[in-house]
Structures are given as C-alpha cells and as structure tokens.
Chain A
Amino acid sequence: MMVRIILACSAVLVILSLSCNNGQKSQAQFLFPDADTFPLAEAEKLSAETLDDIVRNISSPVEIAALLQKMNVPFSADYLASTRDVDRLSSNFDKALKLGIYGADLGYLNMYERTGNSVEVLQSVKKLADGIMVGQYFDFETIKRLSVSKSNLDSLLYLSIQSFNQIDEYLRSNQRGHLSALMIAGAWIEAQYFATQVVKDYPDELLINRIGEQKTILNDILLLLAPFCKMSSDYTSLCNYMNQLREKYREVTITYTPGEPETIEVDGRLTVIQNEESKVEMTGQQLSEIIELTQTIRNNVIQSN
C-alpha cells in the first residue's frame, strides 16, 4: 500500500514537473516523456484508480466531426466501421474497444444529421454495452426515437454523449477501468481515422494541425492504457500499436507562444480569448506515416475478433 502511494505521488510530481515548463520562457515545446523512463514505465505499476486522477477525459469524437463539417467536408459512409460481425464478438476486450469505435461513428452520424442511417450503429452500441453489462446507461429507446424522428438533434447528441460519459464513469468507479480505457482508446482511434482519411482529400491546415496536436492526446491515451498493457496478448498488441504511433509522432513539434488572455462581456456573457498559442510543425512525410499507421491500427482493430 505504502509503495503504491509513493509511486502515485511520484507519478503526479513527475508529470507536473514535465508539464510546468512554459511559464517565463518565450516559447516552450511539448515533448513525450522518454520511452524508457517515467511516466510510461512506472505507469504500468500504478493502479487504475490512481491514473484516473491523472487522465480523466479524452476529446470527444464529435469535435472532430464538427471540424469536418466546418470545412464543408461531405458525409461519407465509407469512413464508418462495419457492424456486420458485432454478434460474433466474444471477449470483453473486443466489446469495449468496439464500443468506443461505434460510439465515435454514432457521433459522426449524428453531427451530420444522418440519424436515419444510425439505427444499425445504435443497435450495435446497445449489444456491446449489454455485453459488458453497462447497457442500463445507454437509453436506447429514447435515442432511437430521436434518431428516427430527426426531431431534436441537440437532445440526440446530449443523450448519446451523456450515455457514453455515464458508461465511462460507471466502469471507472467499479474497478473496470481497463474496459473504460479500451472504450476511450477505441473512440480516439476512430476519430483519428476520420481525420487522417479526410485529410488525404482535404489537406486543410486546420485539420493538419488538429492531427498534429493529437500528439498530446496520444500521450494521455498511452498513460491510460499503460497499467493494462501486460494484462493479455490483446492489450499488449494494442499497446504496441499505440507505441508505434507514438514513435511516428515523436518528431512532430508543438511549440507554445505565451500571451495574456483577453476578456470581454457581451450581453451578460463573459468571453475569454486565449492569446497563448500552440503551433504544430509536421512534415508531409510525418503526416503520411501517421495516416498510414492510423489506418493499419484502425483496420486491425475492427477486423480482430
């Protein structure tokens, strides 16, 4: 117990010291912690509960879908994972990982208001949620009704996203953090897949930067998965893939330029504009390798059952 507390405190201190590097400098840079040192190696020894305090949420795939919409990228069903083999999934590993994948697909469909097409994905989400005993948090009937009627997109998005938040909360607070980590990793992989597939046809700077910035989020995903990497061959394989992707991101540079936030009040609402800025530097070669490996990982994930 004492060792776990010391390890937990050390992890927080190391992560804080790695983070607090941009105060007075004119520019700072995001670097991965060294692969063979803290925190990744030590994170494997930490309990899932401790890591929950370090990494809580992962960006919602609906944000990527919203960005694609902003770029006027048309909807494409080709980006979606097939739901054909959902009934054949037997392990909790596959079910949780694919719950994240289909959750991201659902977010993409809903953002594009392709709600009529989403019933199949909804049914798959329900089956997988039931499969890992969290179906009670997914309000299938209401979400399906809102999808089919196409009546209230905001309510549909709210209920869908909230269901996933509740599943995540439940898994974390019931010593099933390994499944929550898989669900979050699955959603991130699918959102990253959308972004990297779209950028091939729409090389918009905003999207390229968003892909580059995933370096910081990938670091969080790796921390989240680290305690479970030796749990089974499935986890090990996923961790290996994610570490390969991390290597592809290693030379992508993210620099930060400091600036004071601006605050204005409009009609009683406070608006804060952040003037501190992050800037991504990524070569075409680095982007191509990230696109290729993301596709390999995602296709491997959706085919493995």
Chain B
Amino acid sequence: MLYKVTKMKKLFLYIVLLVVFPFMISGQNNGNLVSNCVASTGPNTTYLKDYVIKLPKATSKTSIPVVKENFPLSKGTNYRFTICNSEGSAGQLIITIYERDQKVLSSFNEKTGKFYNSVDFACNKTGTYTFHFSFSNGDQGMGVGVVSFVR
C-alpha cells in the first residue's frame, strides 16, 4: 500500500514536472533574452519597455501575423529601438512604427533588404505611436524589442 502511494506520488511529480518545466525553461529564456537585449542597447541609454514577441508562420503571403502596441513618445527625446532574435527563430524580428496612419520608421529597409538591430529616432512630435512587430517573410519567430531613450 505504502509502495503504491509512493509510486503514485512519483508519477504525480513527473506529470507536474513534465507540464510545468517547459514553462519554467521558457520563462527563464524569455528573461535572458530580454536582459541580454537590454544590455545590448549601448551606453547612456535608459530602458523604458520591452516587448517579447512570439508569432506563428503566416498562413498566406497576404496575412502576415503582426503584434501592435501603442506607446507615447515625446518631442525632444532621442529614442532607441533595439531588436534581438531568439535562437532558433526562423524569421527576423522587424519593428515598424506608425504615427496615426503614417509610417515613421522601420528596422527593415525594403529597397536594400537590410535588417537593422538598432534604430535611433529623434522624436519631434509628442503623441501616441503604434509599434508593429512582425517577422521577415512571415516566418515563425521569437524575439524581443526594447524601447529606451538616449540620455
């Protein structure tokens, strides 16, 4: 009887570990991804916000998954947007920023096909801006976008 209870307990523990452990690992990885990315923003920058982005592969070329986030930016401040990709991410994370309906900047240059991991933005207009996060070619991907300002 005691043997059975012990065996049951072990089984329960295995199940808990199987269910919980991947989340623990994933949480730790997210934490490392964010802190490493924050560390790469460069000297004299102050962290404001991070966005951990995880998106599936696009189902068609016309419906590329996008995460949209609003953020207020102030005139006279130089912001820095830093992009980091998780190991194993098929796509490269891209940030495109809109103010109302107008595109302000993108970390991907469509003409040259170049990706930038860091974009500085000299803001001249206070307001709420919308950050669009997506992955290149609509591939599956995971990455982090860090917003900071240059002191």
A272 contacts which of B70, B75, B121 (Cβ < 8 Å)?
B121
Name the A residues within 8 Å of B45 (CB-CB). Answer: 154
Residue in chain A with minimal CB distance to B147: A57
Interchain CB contact under 8 A, B47 and A157: yes
Residue in chain B with minimal CB distance to A28: B100
Interchain CB contact under 8 A, B48 and A161: yes
| Cα A273 to Cα B127 with chains together (Å) | 16
Interchain CB contact under 8 A, B116 and A269: yes
A278 contacts which of B72, B107, B125, B151 (Cβ < 8 Å)?
B125
Name the B residues within 8 Å of A23 (CB-CB). Answer: 101-102
Interchain CB contact under 8 A, A213 and B126: yes
Interchain CB contact under 8 A, A158 and B47: yes
Name the B residues within 8 Å of A272 (CB-CB). Answer: 104-105, 119-122
| Cα A55 to Cα B104 with chains together (Å) | 20
Interchain CB contact under 8 A, A20 and B118: no
Nearest CB on B from A257, distance (A) = 9
Using A66-B151, A213-B126, A261-B105 as known contacts, say yes or no to A274 and B121 having CB atoms under 8 A apart: yes
Interchain CB contact under 8 A, B125 and A220: no
Number of interface residues of A (CB under 8 A): 45
Interchain CB contact under 8 A, B125 and A276: yes
Number of interface residues of B (CB under 8 A): 38
Nearest CB on A from B124, distance (A) = 4
Q: Contact string, A39-82, partner B, CB cutoff 8 A, digits 1/0?
A: 00000000000000011111110110011010000000000000
| Cα A269 to Cα B149 with chains together (Å) | 15
Interchain CB contact under 8 A, B119 and A57: no
Name the A residues within 8 Å of B122 (CB-CB). Answer: 271-274
Residue in chain A with minimal CB distance to B101: A20
Name the A residues within 8 Å of B72 (CB-CB). Answer: 57-59, 216-217, 220
Interchain CB contact under 8 A, A270 and B75: no
Name the A residues within 8 Å of B71 (CB-CB). Answer: 56-57
Interchain CB contact under 8 A, A162 and B50: yes
| Cα A206 to Cα B116 with chains together (Å) | 31
Interchain CB contact under 8 A, B105 and A263: yes
The reply to whether the CB of B38 lies closer than 8 angstroms to some CB of chain A is: yes
Name the A residues within 8 Å of B127 (CB-CB). Answer: 216, 278
Residue in chain A with minimal CB distance to B121: A272
Nearest CB on B from A137, distance (A) = 13
Using A57-B70, A158-B47, A263-B105 as known contacts, say yes or no to A213 and B75 having CB atoms under 8 A apart: yes
Query: Beyond A56-B70, A59-B74, A254-B126: 17 further Cβ-contacts under 8 Å?
Result: A56-B71, A57-B49, A57-B70, A60-B48, A63-B74, A69-B151, A158-B35, A158-B47, A161-B47, A213-B74, A213-B126, A261-B104, A270-B105, A270-B120, A273-B122, A277-B75, A278-B75
Provide a sorted-by-A list of 19 A–B residue pairs whose CB atoms are within 8 angstroms.
A55-B70, A55-B128, A57-B72, A62-B46, A62-B48, A154-B46, A157-B46, A157-B47, A158-B38, A206-B76, A209-B75, A213-B74, A213-B75, A268-B118, A269-B119, A270-B109, A270-B119, A276-B124, A277-B75
Q: Report, nearest first, the 7 A-B pairs whose CB atoms are least far apart.
A: A213-B126, A274-B124, A272-B105, A56-B70, A278-B125, A271-B120, A158-B47
